[in-house]
Amino acid sequence: MEARNEDEWAQFYSYKLGRASKNLYPPVLYRAQVHRSGSIIDGDGAYVDSFGSEKYQLREYLAGPRKSVPTVRPDELHRPKDLVEVLARHLRKTQEKFSSPLVSLSGDFVWTTHTACARPRQVENRCVSLAVFDVSRIQQHHGQISRVEDLLAYFDDHPRYQSCETIGECARKWAANADEYVCWDFIPREALLKSIPLARLIERC
């Protein structure tokens, strides 16, 4: 088994923080939520139905009700090059099925609202909402958040990742248009500022 590379991860985090200090994250991020009725508002513990990655939800399901589920950090992968494959597959999972450890958010309110409005045609027996998250609270509660643009820049700037799985132009354009961010494993519930049901959102438009 390949050894975990501490130096590569240190370089990765240093680069990411440097990019974030020059181009600050927005104060809030948005997500088009698909969830069971009442699972967010009622606080019944089912919020990861919407805020957890596919892999996190599976671990929660296997752990059983009311049991805590340990989170996994991206640097528990062996090397950052493993993250290249994860990100590549995550960005094209609408075309190819993939159980992703990432959860997407957007810095673009209009793009996210458009996405939320498109969801009812694709999802049955589910509620659709526009969720608004406080970025500082995501960070305060140990959420592992990254700007996709920064991740792509890091992988493009380091030749050793050129042999890794290719992240295609279509996926890059999608991420850029969405001003996409990703959280590893799940978005902390404490970061949720507001969840607006789609029906109410349409009424106000």
The domain made up of 6-204 is a member of CATH 1.10.260: no
* Per-residue model confidence (pLDDT) at position 48: 41
**Is a pLDDT exceeding 80 seen at residue 163?**
no
pLDDT band of 197, cuts 50, 70, 90: confident
- pLDDT band at residue 31 under the 50/70/90 scheme: very high
Percent of the chain residues past pLDDT 90, beyond the cut: 36
Angle, helix 148-157 to helix 169-178, in steps of 10 degrees: 140
Tell me the pTM. 0.85
d(CA 102, CA 184): 5
Q: Mind listing the pLDDT tens digit for each residue in 37-66?
A: 555 543 434 444 458 888 888 887 787 766
pLDDT at 46: 41
Strand partners, 89: none
pLDDT at 59: 82
- Are 27 and 135 contacting, i.e. CB atoms less than 8 angstroms apart? yes
Q: pLDDT tens, 117-155?
A: 876 645 566 678 889 999 999 999 888 899 999 999 999
Query: How far apart are the C-alpha atoms of 150 and 83, rounded to whole Å?
Result: 13
pLDDT at position 1: 42
What does the domain layout of the chain look like in residue ranges?
Answer: 6-204
Q: How confident is the model at residue 25 (pLDDT cuts 50, 70, 90)?
A: very high
Q: What pLDDT does 60 receive?
A: 78
**70 or 97: whose pLDDT is higher?**
97
Which of 148 and 188 is assigned the larger pLDDT?
148
User: Beta partners for 147?
Assistant: 181
What band does 24 get if pLDDT is binned at 50, 70 and 90? very high
